[in-house]
A and B are shown apart, each in its own frame.
Chain A
Amino acid sequence: MKWKNVLRLINIDIKSGRLIRGQRFRRYRESRVLQYVIYGGSCLLGIAIGWLVGTVYNGLPDPNVREMLLLGARSLFISAPTLVLTYSLIFTMMGQIQRAGIKSSIQPPYWLPITWGEHTLASILANLIGVQLAMLIFIVSAISIVSVFIGEVSLAALTIFAMLTIAFLASATTEIFRVLQVRLTGAVYKSSGRAAIWVRFFGSILLFVVFYVVYFSFTSGANYAAILEAFASGQKTLWFIPYIWLGMALFSFTNGQILETVVFSLGSVAFLSALFVVAVKLNSMFGLYEPPAIRISLGAYTPKAGIWGRLGFSSSEAAIMRKDFKAFTRRRELMYFFVLPIVIIVSMIMPFMRTSQAGTLVPQELLFFSALILLMPGAIMAIMLGSMIIGQEGSPVWHLYSSPITAESLVKCKYAFVVIFSCAVTLACGAVGILIFRPSLRIIFAAVIESIFLIFSISAVSLRAGIKGADFVEIPRPRMIRPLELMINFIMCLILAGAILAPIIPYAVTMIGLTNLLPQFYLYVALAISGAIAAIVTYGFYRIAVKKAKDFLAEAEI
């Protein structure tokens, strides 16, 4: 294996981040500071937190409390690799689902003098670059500093080694999943035609829902605590899972069981090697991906009058909406949008399950959870979809530039798509929320109305950002919007959502019993004021979106 080739390939992956719309490509100059700022920041933050925790620990006067904290820190060190495993798996999987242009991004190695081993290793390591690496640097820095204060340097060194190894393990697992998914979808496509679209659609969603359930069951506290307890109390009930052997090795090390430490460590090395060999083998067997010919329709072509046309959209507006709907059900990287509301529901239900195990929900919690599940998914969908609906066009955006579509029509059809999609999400999530939390009719009524206000206004706000910050770069993954514009839009949406919801808050406060219940007419007045604010926001930002669309269509970036 030529290590320089591996580094070159990783470097290409890092450099792919350059392709952001608006960058100057002629006489391109890279800012190394900006390139590594996320990692430097994570390191500094880790050091600061480590130092803070260490200082607090040293300042504690009670030796019993210090002893308790020391035990807690040891447990945390031991379980850190398992934590790294879960988030590395989630993030590397998320990275993979968003990667488009599989053929263009991974095929060049096949005609260059690069071995499958080099390609696989580079792919595994490159998968870790980004948020995963930043989090790893943060944890490593914090643990290193804390270990000096608590006198556990050797355990910390082993923990860090274990975390790095397990991050590699997670990424190797993702690599195997990726190749298998490519192979599997290819096979499904060949055999099942139109059904393949839905098999892939529901398959991808299911895969991510499973991962998120695992992730939240770990991070929401209940099961994670159980695992910590399992390690700490010496119950090695999970010994048969190779992914946690490194954690077991650390546990054995803290108990002075040298033989077990060595066995689990060697077992982990063997497992890691086996995973790598499997990944290389699978890549060499199925990695050379050729999209199979997918036949969706047969027979003579007959144009159909779509539902959008009957709803008053022009033929060009309806065509764009139909095309967008197909994009969201057929493009792997856009299926993420369907996963999002499910993730939100899972993340809300997990803490609720814990609370309900502990006892019955108090009115404050009931109102909070019900309102959240009725308001949040639709609003988040409107933010995400609105800000990315233009950028998701990718390089075929030249169709919009060259076709006789006006700015007004473009904004109308994109806005309608975002609103309809977000309302559907609110409906689905709301139904689940009502079944689980069983809120009163009044809560449902107010939350649904507010949710609609939020969707209409936030969609307009986000669409403006989506047009202004559209990013059509597709390789190695579609970005759809410039990160800065996305961030500004998110903050703006938060502020405006706060303003729209403000009139209803006094009534909500009285509903949870903090003060006497306000008369019911106040609810209707509050909803009317809220609606008026939403209407002003919607109208204003819709007009701005049309103006931005005029500029966008006037100066094609192709």
Chain B
Amino acid sequence: MVTSSDSTVKLIGVAKRYADVVAVDYVDLDVKHGEIFGLLGPNGSGKSTLLKMILGLVKPDSGSVNVLGIKAEENPVAIKAQVGYVPESPRLYEFLTGIEYLDFTADLYGVNAAEKRERINEYLEALELEGREGDMISAYSLGMKQKIALISAFVHKPKLLLFDEPLNALDPRSARIIKDLLHELASKGVTTIMSTHILEIAQAMCDRIAIMYEGRLLAVGNMEELREKARLPGSNLEEIFLSLTGTTDVRNVVEALMK
């Protein structure tokens, strides 16, 4: 079912439990076209589960997930066709070479041969993987594997990018290229939702940020709105994050460890 709206992702009352653990606790979220949206939260706060629910990899126990105007439970394949996804520490097929892997993923998304060739070669050149594309992935460094995973997410020109720690292990030049690329894509209407622990990156890159804690959305908004919510005018994202998630006892913890 297609709905007319300027939302790329719309979650209403979404919840997910794993046995007695609440992963996502009745979350409402609205991410607009061309936004770069950051998901922050401590480990186990439900960020990855939320990303997987948006992609239709995890069925919510309740609530509705609407992506690009399509209801996730009705046609997940149509959503996946328009999404580029990179999980946290992506495990690639290590027995393939870099180029074989990209060829494989492009084929999964049905990219035609001419486009595939052009885009893959462009990305390989931009991320300085030229000359190494014929090597088996098992011999790649962590950063090279991350680059390959990112290229595979871009190659079919998705309308929505879902990234879990996208800049993990990237060298500064490649990280900068990815950041600039995401901004360029955003200006053309491509939406990015990224989960990260690096608050500086989130603050610098994201138009809006959501802070999750124990499966709940504590706050959603741009930096100014978050400062207001935390009642910390002029503060940076780290201070807001620690204040909202109730983890301001950092000093006490360090002192206890030093004893």
Residue positions of A touching B, CB distance < 8 A = 24, 26, 291-298, 300-303, 305, 314-316, 318-320, 322-323, 326-327, 330-331, 394-396, 398-399, 401-406, 553-556, 558
Q: Known contacts being A291-B138, A395-B91, A404-B80, is A297 close to B97, with CB within 8 Å?
A: yes
- Measured between alpha carbons, how far is A485 from B47 in the docked complex, in Å? 33
What residues of A have a CB within 8 angstroms of the CB of B92 in the complex? Answer: 396
What residues of A have a CB within 8 angstroms of the CB of B133 in the complex? Answer: 297, 301
Structural contact, B108 and A316, CB atoms closer than 8 A: yes
Q: Known contacts being A404-B80, A556-B52, is A295 close to B95, with CB within 8 Å?
A: no
Task: Looking at the assembled complex, report how far the CB atom of B194 sits from the nearest CB atom of chain A, in whole angstroms.
Answer: 15
Structural contact, B113 and A305, CB atoms closer than 8 A: yes
Task: Looking at the assembled complex, report how far the CB atom of A557 sits from the nearest CB atom of chain B, in whole angstroms.
Answer: 9
- In the complex, identify which listed stretch (B53-61, B198-206, B241-249) lies at the interface while the others stay far away: B53-61
The number of chain B residues touching the other chain, given as a range, is 35 or more
Residue positions of B touching A, CB distance < 8 A = 18-19, 21, 52, 55-59, 76-78, 80-81, 83, 85, 87, 90-93, 95-97, 99-100, 103-105, 107-110, 113, 116-117, 120-121, 124, 132-136, 138-139
Q: Known contacts being A404-B80, A554-B76, is A322 close to B59, with CB within 8 Å?
A: no
Told that A297-B133, A301-B124 touch, could you supply 6 new A-B pairs with CB distance under 8 A?
Answer: A293-B139, A294-B136, A295-B135, A297-B97, A315-B108, A405-B108
Task: Looking at the assembled complex, report how far the CB atom of B79 sits from the nearest CB atom of chain A, in whole angstroms.
Answer: 8
Q: Which of B83, B104, B132 contacts A323 (CB 8 A)?
A: B104
Q: Which of B19, B52, B91, B99 contacts A301 (CB 8 A)?
A: B99
Task: Looking at the assembled complex, report how far the CB atom of B19 sits from the nearest CB atom of chain A, in whole angstroms.
Answer: 6
Task: Looking at the assembled complex, report how far the CB atom of A542 sits from the nearest CB atom of chain B, in whole angstroms.
Answer: 20
Structural contact, B95 and A297, CB atoms closer than 8 A: no
Structural contact, B109 and A404, CB atoms closer than 8 A: yes
- Measured between alpha carbons, how far is A340 from B90 in the docked complex, in Å? 32
Structural contact, A398 and B103, CB atoms closer than 8 A: no
Q: Known contacts being A396-B91, A399-B105, A556-B52, is A405 close to B77, with CB within 8 Å?
A: yes
Structural contact, B91 and A394, CB atoms closer than 8 A: yes
Q: Known contacts being A26-B21, A316-B107, is A323 close to B96, with CB within 8 Å?
A: yes
Structural contact, A300 and B121, CB atoms closer than 8 A: yes
What residues of B have a CB within 8 angstroms of the CB of A300 in the complex? Answer: 121
What residues of B have a CB within 8 angstroms of the CB of A398 in the complex? Answer: 57, 87, 90-91
Structural contact, B81 and A404, CB atoms closer than 8 A: yes
What residues of B have a CB within 8 angstroms of the CB of A302 in the complex? Answer: 117
Q: Known contacts being A303-B103, A395-B91, A554-B59, is A403 close to B80, with CB within 8 Å?
A: yes
Q: Known contacts being A26-B21, A301-B120, A403-B108, is A555 close to B58, with CB within 8 Å?
A: yes
The binding surface of chain A is classed by DSSP as loop
Structural contact, A330 and B95, CB atoms closer than 8 A: yes
Q: List 15 A-B contacts (CB under 8 A).
A: A293-B135, A294-B136, A296-B134, A296-B136, A297-B133, A301-B117, A303-B117, A305-B113, A322-B104, A398-B57, A402-B57, A402-B80, A402-B85, A403-B105, A558-B57
What residues of A have a CB within 8 angstroms of the CB of B77 in the complex? Answer: 404-406
Structural contact, A294 and B121, CB atoms closer than 8 A: no
Q: Which of B18, B95, B113 contacts A331 (CB 8 A)?
A: B95
Q: Known contacts being A305-B113, A394-B91, A556-B58, is A292 close to B76, with CB within 8 Å?
A: no
Structural contact, A303 and B113, CB atoms closer than 8 A: yes
What residues of A have a CB within 8 angstroms of the CB of B113 in the complex? Answer: 303, 305
What residues of A have a CB within 8 angstroms of the CB of B19 in the complex? Answer: 24, 26
Structural contact, B80 and A555, CB atoms closer than 8 A: no
Structural contact, A294 and B90, CB atoms closer than 8 A: no
- Measured between alpha carbons, how far is A293 from B140 in the docked complex, in Å? 8
Kindly name the residue among A301, A330, A394, A554 whose own CB sees the greatest number of chain B CB atoms within 10 A.
A301
In the complex, the chain A residue whose C-beta lies closest to that of B56 is: A554
What residues of A have a CB within 8 angstroms of the CB of B120 in the complex? Answer: 301
Structural contact, A399 and B108, CB atoms closer than 8 A: yes
Task: Looking at the assembled complex, report how far the CB atom of A289 sits from the nearest CB atom of chain B, in whole angstroms.
Answer: 11
What residues of A have a CB within 8 angstroms of the CB of B138 in the complex? Answer: 291, 294
- Measured between alpha carbons, how far is A491 from B202 in the docked complex, in Å? 55
In the complex, the chain B residue whose C-beta lies closest to that of A299 is: B134
What residues of B have a CB within 8 angstroms of the CB of A401 in the complex? Answer: 57
Structural contact, B136 and A319, CB atoms closer than 8 A: no
What residues of B have a CB within 8 angstroms of the CB of A555 in the complex? Answer: 58-59
Structural contact, B99 and A315, CB atoms closer than 8 A: no
Structural contact, B95 and A404, CB atoms closer than 8 A: no
Q: Which of A296, A315, A320 contacts B110 (CB 8 A)?
A: A315
Task: Looking at the assembled complex, report how far the CB atom of A441 sits from the nearest CB atom of chain B, in whole angstroms.
Answer: 42
Task: Looking at the assembled complex, report how far the CB atom of B40 sits from the nearest CB atom of chain A, in whole angstroms.
Answer: 21
Kindly name the residue among A293, A323, A327 whose own CB sees the greatest number of chain B CB atoms within 10 A.
A323
Task: Looking at the assembled complex, report how far the CB atom of B78 sits from the nearest CB atom of chain A, in whole angstroms.
Answer: 7
What residues of B have a CB within 8 angstroms of the CB of A399 in the complex? Answer: 93, 105, 108
- Measured between alpha carbons, how far is A406 from B138 in the docked complex, in Å? 29
Structural contact, B121 and A296, CB atoms closer than 8 A: no
In the complex, the chain A residue whose C-beta lies closest to that of B138 is: A291
Task: Looking at the assembled complex, report how far the CB atom of A393 sits from the nearest CB atom of chain B, in whole angstroms.
Answer: 9
- Measured between alpha carbons, how far is A26 from B18 in the docked complex, in Å? 10
Task: Looking at the assembled complex, report how far the CB atom of A442 sits from the nearest CB atom of chain B, in whole angstroms.
Answer: 44
Q: Which of B57, B81, B134 contacts A297 (CB 8 A)?
A: B134
